[in-house]
Amino acid sequence: QPTATSYSRSNPAPVGTAQTITIDNYLGKYTVTIKVTEAFRGQSAWTAIKKANMFNTAPEDNNEYVLLSVEATIDSAENDRAVSLNDYDFKIYNSTNSEYERVLVVSPNPQFDGSAYEGGKIEGFMAFTVSTSDPSPKIVFGQDYDGTGGIWFSAVK
pLDDT in tens, 14-30: 999 999 999 998 888 99
Q: Please state the rounded mean pLDDT for residues 73-95.
A: 97
Contact by Cβ (8 Å): 86, 68: no
Burial 1-33 (b: 16+ CB within 10 A, else e): eeebeebeeeebbebebbbbbebeeeeeebbbb
**Phi, psi angle pair for 79, to nearest 5°:** 60, 30
pLDDT in tens, 103-124: 999 999 999 999 999 999 999 9
**Phi, psi angle pair for 95, to nearest 5°:** -70, -15
**How far is the C-alpha of 110 from the C-alpha of 70, rounded, in Å?**
10
In this predicted structure, the answer to whether residue 1 has a pLDDT above a threshold of 80 is no
In this predicted structure, the answer to whether residue 4 has a pLDDT above a threshold of 60 is no
For position 5, what pLDDT does the model report? 59
For position 27, what pLDDT does the model report? 81
Q: CA angle, corner 32, sides to 116 and 73, nearest 5?
A: 50
**How far is the C-alpha of 7 from the C-alpha of 126, rounded, in Å?**
21
Closest CA to 112 of 42, 58, 35: 35
**How far is the C-alpha of 52 from the C-alpha of 138, rounded, in Å?**
23
Q: In the chain, what percentage of residues exceed pLDDT 90?
A: 93
By CB atoms closer than 10 A (0-12, 13-18, 19+), residue 61 is exposed
How long a stretch of residues is the chain?
A: 157
The mean predicted confidence, pLDDT, of the chain is 95
Q: Which residues contact 96 (CB under 8 A, 6 or more apart)?
A: none
- Record the pTM: 0.94
In this predicted structure, the answer to whether residue 95 has a pLDDT above a threshold of 70 is yes
In this predicted structure, the answer to whether residue 148 has a pLDDT above a threshold of 80 is yes
